[in-house]
Structure 1
Amino acid sequence: MPLLTYIGEISPRPILLIAGENAHSRYFSEDAYKAAAQPKELMIIKAADHVDLYDRISLIPFEKLTSFFRDNLK
Protein backbone atom coordinates (compact mmCIF):
# COMPACT_ATOMS: atom_id res chain seq x y z
CA MET A 1 0.00 0.00 0.00
CA PRO A 2 1.54 3.37 -0.96
CA LEU A 3 2.24 5.52 2.08
CA LEU A 4 0.08 8.49 1.07
CA THR A 5 -2.94 6.49 -0.07
CA TYR A 6 -5.12 7.45 2.89
CA ILE A 7 -3.67 10.79 3.94
CA GLY A 8 -6.90 12.54 3.01
CA GLU A 9 -8.69 10.53 5.68
CA ILE A 10 -6.64 12.13 8.47
CA SER A 11 -8.59 15.36 8.06
CA PRO A 12 -9.97 17.15 10.02
CA ARG A 13 -7.23 16.16 12.48
CA PRO A 14 -4.34 18.65 12.44
CA ILE A 15 -1.06 17.57 10.85
CA LEU A 16 2.34 19.06 11.64
CA LEU A 17 5.15 17.97 9.34
CA ILE A 18 8.72 18.91 10.25
CA ALA A 19 11.70 18.37 7.96
CA GLY A 20 15.26 19.54 7.73
CA GLU A 21 16.12 21.87 4.88
CA ASN A 22 18.87 19.50 3.77
CA ALA A 23 17.16 16.23 4.64
CA HIS A 24 17.21 13.52 2.01
CA SER A 25 13.60 12.78 3.04
CA ARG A 26 12.35 16.38 2.80
CA TYR A 27 10.49 15.59 -0.43
CA PHE A 28 8.27 13.11 1.44
CA SER A 29 7.15 15.75 3.97
CA GLU A 30 6.46 18.17 1.11
CA ASP A 31 4.48 15.52 -0.80
CA ALA A 32 2.50 14.62 2.32
CA TYR A 33 1.78 18.30 2.94
CA LYS A 34 0.50 18.78 -0.61
CA ALA A 35 -1.71 15.70 -0.37
CA ALA A 36 -3.13 16.45 3.08
CA ALA A 37 -6.31 18.38 3.70
CA GLN A 38 -6.52 21.26 6.15
CA PRO A 39 -5.62 21.83 8.91
CA LYS A 40 -1.97 21.26 8.12
CA GLU A 41 1.42 22.85 8.70
CA LEU A 42 4.84 22.24 7.18
CA MET A 43 7.90 23.47 9.04
CA ILE A 44 11.29 23.34 7.30
CA ILE A 45 14.22 23.69 9.70
CA LYS A 46 17.06 25.70 8.14
CA ALA A 47 20.52 24.14 7.96
CA ALA A 48 19.26 20.78 9.27
CA ASP A 49 19.35 17.34 7.75
CA HIS A 50 17.23 14.34 8.69
CA VAL A 51 19.42 13.09 11.55
CA ASP A 52 19.90 16.58 13.04
CA LEU A 53 16.27 16.61 14.10
CA TYR A 54 16.88 13.56 16.26
CA ASP A 55 19.88 14.69 18.25
CA ARG A 56 20.82 18.34 17.67
CA ILE A 57 18.78 19.76 20.50
CA SER A 58 19.34 23.35 19.37
CA LEU A 59 17.61 22.64 16.03
CA ILE A 60 14.56 20.79 17.35
CA PRO A 61 11.59 23.22 17.34
CA PHE A 62 10.38 22.47 20.87
CA GLU A 63 8.35 25.68 21.10
CA LYS A 64 6.45 24.82 17.92
CA LEU A 65 5.84 21.25 19.09
CA THR A 66 4.56 22.50 22.44
CA SER A 67 2.23 25.08 20.90
CA PHE A 68 0.96 22.65 18.25
CA PHE A 69 0.04 20.00 20.80
CA ARG A 70 -1.33 22.54 23.27
CA ASP A 71 -3.59 24.04 20.59
CA ASN A 72 -4.71 20.75 19.05
CA LEU A 73 -4.99 18.29 21.92
CA LYS A 74 -7.77 20.02 23.79
Structure 2
Amino acid sequence: MSFFSFRQMTNIDMLAPRKALLVAGADAHSLYYSQDVQKMAPETVDLVVVPGADHVDLYDRKDLIPFDKLDEFFTKNLA
Protein backbone atom coordinates (compact mmCIF):
# COMPACT_ATOMS: atom_id res chain seq x y z
CA MET A 1 0.00 0.00 0.00
CA SER A 2 2.92 2.38 0.47
CA PHE A 3 3.30 2.53 -3.33
CA PHE A 4 -0.16 4.04 -3.67
CA SER A 5 0.60 6.79 -1.18
CA PHE A 6 3.83 7.78 -2.97
CA ARG A 7 3.80 11.40 -4.00
CA GLN A 8 5.10 11.24 -7.57
CA MET A 9 6.07 14.89 -7.78
CA THR A 10 8.01 15.05 -4.51
CA ASN A 11 11.39 15.48 -6.21
CA ILE A 12 10.38 17.17 -9.47
CA ASP A 13 12.50 20.19 -8.53
CA MET A 14 15.59 17.95 -8.57
CA LEU A 15 14.74 16.67 -12.05
CA ALA A 16 13.50 19.85 -13.66
CA PRO A 17 16.85 21.58 -14.30
CA ARG A 18 17.99 18.56 -16.34
CA LYS A 19 16.74 17.29 -19.67
CA ALA A 20 14.68 14.13 -19.35
CA LEU A 21 12.94 11.82 -21.78
CA LEU A 22 9.89 9.85 -20.72
CA VAL A 23 8.59 7.04 -22.91
CA ALA A 24 5.10 5.71 -22.24
CA GLY A 25 2.66 3.46 -24.02
CA ALA A 26 -0.55 5.08 -25.23
CA ASP A 27 -2.48 2.18 -23.70
CA ALA A 28 -0.56 2.15 -20.40
CA HIS A 29 -2.57 2.64 -17.24
CA SER A 30 0.39 4.64 -15.94
CA LEU A 31 0.51 7.09 -18.87
CA TYR A 32 -0.90 9.88 -16.74
CA TYR A 33 2.17 9.76 -14.46
CA SER A 34 4.42 10.67 -17.37
CA GLN A 35 1.97 13.28 -18.64
CA ASP A 36 1.83 14.91 -15.20
CA VAL A 37 5.63 15.05 -14.95
CA GLN A 38 5.88 16.55 -18.43
CA LYS A 39 3.28 19.20 -17.53
CA MET A 40 5.25 20.13 -14.41
CA ALA A 41 8.47 20.74 -16.37
CA PRO A 42 7.57 21.19 -20.05
CA GLU A 43 10.81 23.00 -20.89
CA THR A 44 13.00 20.12 -19.80
CA VAL A 45 10.90 16.96 -19.99
CA ASP A 46 10.15 15.41 -23.36
CA LEU A 47 7.43 12.79 -23.58
CA VAL A 48 7.17 10.16 -26.29
CA VAL A 49 3.85 8.33 -26.31
CA VAL A 50 4.03 5.05 -28.22
CA PRO A 51 0.79 4.17 -30.05
CA GLY A 52 -0.52 0.66 -29.47
CA ALA A 53 1.77 -0.03 -26.51
CA ASP A 54 1.02 -0.61 -22.87
CA HIS A 55 3.51 -0.33 -20.00
CA VAL A 56 4.90 -3.86 -20.24
CA ASP A 57 5.25 -3.77 -24.05
CA LEU A 58 8.03 -1.21 -23.73
CA TYR A 59 10.17 -3.66 -21.76
CA ASP A 60 10.38 -6.39 -24.35
CA ARG A 61 8.51 -5.58 -27.57
CA LYS A 62 11.49 -4.33 -29.57
CA ASP A 63 9.24 -3.52 -32.51
CA LEU A 64 7.45 -0.91 -30.36
CA ILE A 65 10.42 0.67 -28.59
CA PRO A 66 11.17 4.06 -30.23
CA PHE A 67 14.91 3.57 -30.62
CA ASP A 68 15.13 6.49 -33.05
CA LYS A 69 13.73 8.87 -30.40
CA LEU A 70 16.09 7.47 -27.76
CA ASP A 71 19.07 7.88 -30.06
CA GLU A 72 18.06 11.43 -30.99
CA PHE A 73 17.54 12.46 -27.36
CA PHE A 74 20.80 11.01 -26.04
CA THR A 75 22.85 12.23 -29.00
CA LYS A 76 21.56 15.77 -28.48
CA ASN A 77 21.67 15.89 -24.69
CA LEU A 78 24.74 13.88 -23.76
CA ALA A 79 27.11 15.47 -26.23
Amino acid at match of 1:21: A
Give distance in 2, aligned partners of 1:48 and 1:37: 23
Q: What residue number does 2:67 align with? A: 62
Q: What SS class does the counterpart of residue 18 from structure 1 fall into? A: strand
Identify which of 48, 52, 55 aligns with 1:47: 52
Give distance in 2, aligned partners of 1:58 and 1:21: 15
TM-score norm. by structure 1 comes to 0.88
Identify which of 28, 34, 50 aligns with 2:39: 34
Q: What residue number does 2:3 align with? A: none
Identify which of 5, 22, 27 aligns with 2:10: 5
Amino acid at match of 1:4: M
Give distance in 2, aligned partners of 1:51 and 1:25: 11
Amino acid at match of 2:58: L
Amino acid at match of 1:9: M
- 1:6-29 CA deviation, whole Å, 9 max, x = no partner? 213323311111100000110111
CA contact (8 A) 2:26 2:51 kept: yes
CA RMSD of aligned residues (A): 1.4
Moved over 3 A (4+): none
Unpaired segments ≥5 residues, structure 1: none
After TM superposition, give the deviation of residue 2 of structure 1 in Å: 1.9
Unpaired segments ≥5 residues, structure 2: 1-5
